[in-house]
Structure 1
């Protein structure tokens, strides 16, 4: 019972960890997409200066779709196995990088006033006089991307764990066939082989006829050596 429970707990943990990381990463990306990334001040020369906030969904339009992609990856992580799960892990890593790049660029470089003006839909006569970057929301995206990268690594580990468990807990017919093959070889039987032989309906402790152990001295029998 304990031997079966331990792999089961390992498999459950391998499935839960990437799902939690993906959910946390998606939440970070979605929350950041609703926050202000860039604040600009503009003037058209006719009135007072105007302040415009650009949220993450405007400055980095892919942030929200990438968050949805991470949520979709949660369902995929439970639906696929083997090489397909490795493909999902690769796609999650690509999504993470795609989310991190614009946030890092914003934090590492100056804001382009022309781009800020276009995204703010300022009139042609208006000029951007000042820009301000709010680092918190961009840093939140970086954190979400790192969580997604961690999920990609966890998915790769899950693919390896599921492969190992599937081979260890094969179908009964396959295990019986393996037990027969091992019984025909000269390898000493292990405890697992003995149980597989019992499952196959054979008694591993019963010697085969002709191996010498059935021969015994006595009336009607062949004299022993």
Structure 2
């Protein structure tokens, strides 16, 4: 997605079409239309891709697949103008005259389309489409953002579970997990030294809470 966004941003600043015209009264006129003129959505779509990168890191499951669908739509929209220009299937001359804001008496003498920006945009569309497919196929268990952005409540509960497991000695746990366990009121050294007693203590605390 980052590569696609960079390619779209660069393409928006390249000259796509050069229009030569004359009105019979003044000197011949030449207008260069860059990507932002020819396809004004290029830069906004590049920004959408950058925002989608953050969305991918912050979501998982069906939400992440929805982001993939959005990226697929961006890829399709991006491919249309470049494909039309490369194949000559669009009304290039009329569109060029309109975008160049030529006066009514002007006559277009030549329209030259530069293939390189269109190919670059098409490559960006392909990259975005590949990203969309990968997102759709991404395993559900794929991690979200780094642990420091997780909900503290769930993070502490997970840390308590790790330190109370008999097969997870405190020495093998990360410092972050140990601190989260302490924040949750669990002593990692105590749990590691006597896991069976810790389990009994934990169950006793749950029973006491239920009695109250």
Normalized against structure 2, the TM-score is what? Answer: 0.66
Which entry has the higher C-alpha Rg, 1 or 2?
1
Note if contact 2:85-2:92 (Cα within 8 Å) is conserved in structure 1.
no
In the alignment of these two chains, the number of paired residues is: 153
Shift of 1:159: 4.1
**Within the alignment, does 1:150 sit opposite 2:127 as a pair?**
no
Q: Indicate which of 67, 92, 112 corresponds to 1:132.
A: 112
Whole-Å separation in 2 of the counterparts to 1:153 and 1:95: 13
**Within the alignment, does 1:77 sit opposite 2:19 as a pair?**
no
Q: 1:24-173 counterparts in 2 under 5 A?
A: 24-109=3-88, 111-162=91-142, 172=161
1:26-69 Cα distance to aligned partner (Å, 9 max, x none): 00001000101011100010122111101111111111111111
List runs of 5+ in structure 1 lacking aligned partners. 1-21, 164-169, 177-197, 203-225
List runs of 5+ in structure 2 lacking aligned partners. 144-156, 166-194, 201-212
Note if contact 2:37-2:99 (Cα within 8 Å) is conserved in structure 1.
yes
1:104-163 Cα distance to aligned partner (Å, 9 max, x none): 001101653222111001111111111001000000001111111111122223343428
Secondary structure class of the residue paired with 2:142: helix
Note if contact 2:8-2:124 (Cα within 8 Å) is conserved in structure 1.
yes
* Aligned CA-pair RMSD: 2.4
Note if contact 1:83-1:159 (Cα within 8 Å) is conserved in structure 2.
no
Whole-Å separation in 2 of the counterparts to 1:98 and 1:27: 16
Whole-Å separation in 2 of the counterparts to 1:23 and 1:62: 17
Whole-Å separation in 1 of the counterparts to 2:93 and 2:132: 36
Normalized against structure 1, the TM-score is what? Answer: 0.62
Note if contact 1:37-1:54 (Cα within 8 Å) is conserved in structure 2.
yes
Secondary structure class of the residue paired with 1:124: coil
Secondary structure class of the residue paired with 2:54: helix
The runs of at least 4 aligned residues of structure 1 exceeding 3 Å deviation read 170-173, 198-202
Secondary structure class of the residue paired with 1:38: strand
